[in-house]
Structure 1
Amino acid sequence: MSLTGLFPIDKWNFKSQSILTNLPDDEYERLHAHMLEQHYQKGESIFREGAVASGIFFIKKGKVKKYKVDKEGKEQIIYVANTGELLGYHAVLAEERYTDSAAALEACAITFIPREDFLNVVEQSQVLPRRLLKALSHEFAVLSNSISVFAQRSVKERLAIILIVLREKFKAETVAGSEITINISRADLANMVGTGSENIVRFLKEFRMAGILHTQGRKIFITDVKRLIGLSGYSNALP
């Protein structure tokens, strides 16, 4: 089921997939000159907050969580990146260290592009700077929206929103006609919503009893996305 006209999913997703699409051949070749593909298992770290930004990462397959860790060591997941998205380019462009951490949510294939190669192409390209500016502007709008909405919404509403967003992310790699499977731990879900795992378990049970979803182990299947949207309260929180 499409969310068009029901939920503004673009306000919750970055658009970095198009940054490297259909670049001129010479730019593409320079980017790929020293590109290295690496494979990560679920939970494996890709980069950590404060580390030197040595390059950018392109997700060929899989999903990656971007997160920060507070003084008590608790994770706050700020975004889930999907196949085709870029990671780490903000820090490289700003000549700063990585401002957050990234780890695989599932088995991933990720290519690494060294900082020097990326910046050389950016400096000479007629296309890439405009795409990067557009992507950065949109990402700022997404994060601003997330902060403002989450500051006003209840835990139940935040969970509904996160489940809607995750449904779209897992839908992207679901075979047509198959049921969309949200495969995520309760701990990671709690870190996305900004609450304890016990609240996630309680509200998932409530949603299950209401017929909005069903579960199988850690897997979540949304059966009534319209009712989930109704519980999200987004119409009162978003313009």
Structure 2
Amino acid sequence: MRILIYWNKLPQDQRTMLRNFLSENFRLKTDQLFEVLTVEEQDSLMGSGVTHEYKKGEIIFREGGIPTGIFYIKAGRVKKYKTNPKGNEHIFYLCSQGELLGYHALLGEEYYMDSAATIEISLITFIPKDGFLKVLRSSTTFSNALLKALGHEFSFFANSISNLATKSVKERLAFNLLILDEKFKNKDLPHEGNEIILSRTDLTNMVGTAKETLVRLLQEFMRAGLIEKTDKTIRILDRKALVKEANLMGSNTKKL
């Protein structure tokens, strides 16, 4: 399923406000960790790794597995999810280019608490534990940045749990469309519509609902003029209205 999101009904200052809000509250920020490394440290870290091309839907690691290193996404996108006893997935985060996977379990010397799988063809570098810890121990700047990232994770998960527990399904759908827009934005064409390719099953598992409910709500958004939907494409026509449907910032959404 392809989703195109357009900015044309949201002024530039309000777009910036919304992006900052989503970035601060609903992004893990691991893509910023490598920015603090020197060129030599980056070469040391990546030089110890092995890059592999993953097919769409390929598992990177599974819940309950033992971590032996971390994963760096060079290209592509990866879903992080939990599986319930019935085998149903709940996708709680999408990782994209530049982000790290698996470092939390590695540092805590724990089993993986979630699973990760690609949603498109991806290039991912596996960095062994020894290579990662070597740079971590030698770079105070990197270790401090990682501590900040770990601290930010608490806020991220608290916000995510609150979002799932307190928002209606319709609000969660609108919210996730906004999140996906940030994850799939075209850096070369920031003011154009962002094309998001995500299966209906994955979107259902992100929102936390049944497929039938998802289809009904998408049709409701279409009738209200928020989106235009074809067999494989969703175009968001009224972003301002979508922000209000998401009820992201309570009374602050009136400013958007």
TM range (shorter): over 0.9
Question: Hey, what's the Cα distance between the residues in 2 that align with 1:47 and 1:98?
Answer: 8
Aligned-partner SS, 1:234: coil
Tell me, yes or no, if the aligned pair for 1:40 and 1:109 is still in contact at 8 Å: yes
Deviation at 1:22, TM superposition (A): 4.7
Comparing 55-64 with 229-238, greater Cα deviation is found at 229-238
Matches within 5 A, 1:173-212: 175-176=189-190, 178-212=192-226
Deviation at 1:15, TM superposition (A): 0.5
Comparing 130-139 with 209-218, greater Cα deviation is found at 209-218
Aligned counterpart in structure 2 of residue 4 of structure 1, from 16, 25, 39: 16
TM-score, with structure 1 as normaliser: 0.93
Deviation at 1:178, TM superposition (A): 4.1
Aligned-partner SS, 1:171: coil
TM-score, with structure 2 as normaliser: 0.87
Please tell me the residue identity of whatever aligns with 1:104: T
Q: How many residues align?
A: 239
CA RMSD of aligned residues (A): 2.0
Question: Hey, what's the Cα distance between the residues in 2 that align with 1:125 and 1:176?
Answer: 34
The answer on 1:167 being equivalent to 2:181 is: yes
Question: Hey, what's the Cα distance between the residues in 1 that align with 2:230 and 2:160?
Answer: 29
Q: Where does residue 31 of structure 1 map in the other structure?
A: 45
The structure where helix makes up a greater share of residues is 2
Aligned counterpart in structure 1 of residue 160 of structure 2, from 133, 142, 146: 146
Deviation at 1:170, TM superposition (A): 0.9
The answer on 1:75 being equivalent to 2:89 is: yes
Tell me, yes or no, if the aligned pair for 2:69 and 2:127 is still in contact at 8 Å: yes
> Structure 1: which 5+ runs fail to align?
none
> Structure 2: which 5+ runs fail to align?
1-6
Q: Where does residue 219 of structure 1 map in the other structure?
A: 233
Percent of aligned positions that are identical: 44
Tell me, yes or no, if the aligned pair for 2:53 and 2:121 is still in contact at 8 Å: yes
Question: Hey, what's the Cα distance between the residues in 1 that align with 2:150 and 2:249?
Answer: 25
Comparing 160-169 with 170-179, greater Cα deviation is found at 170-179
Aligned counterpart in structure 2 of residue 134 of structure 1, from 148, 155, 158: 148
Deviation at 1:177, TM superposition (A): 5.5
Tell me, yes or no, if the aligned pair for 2:36 and 2:145 is still in contact at 8 Å: no
For residues 167-205 of structure 1, the C-alpha deviation after alignment (integer angstroms, 9 at most, x for no partner) is 111114564564211211111011111111111111111
Deviation at 1:97, TM superposition (A): 1.7
Question: Hey, what's the Cα distance between the residues in 1 that align with 2:18 and 2:108?
Answer: 37
Aligned counterpart in structure 2 of residue 48 of structure 1, from 45, 62, 71: 62
Please tell me the residue identity of whatever aligns with 1:9: L
Structure of higher RCO (CA pairs closer than 8 Å, 6+ residues apart): 2
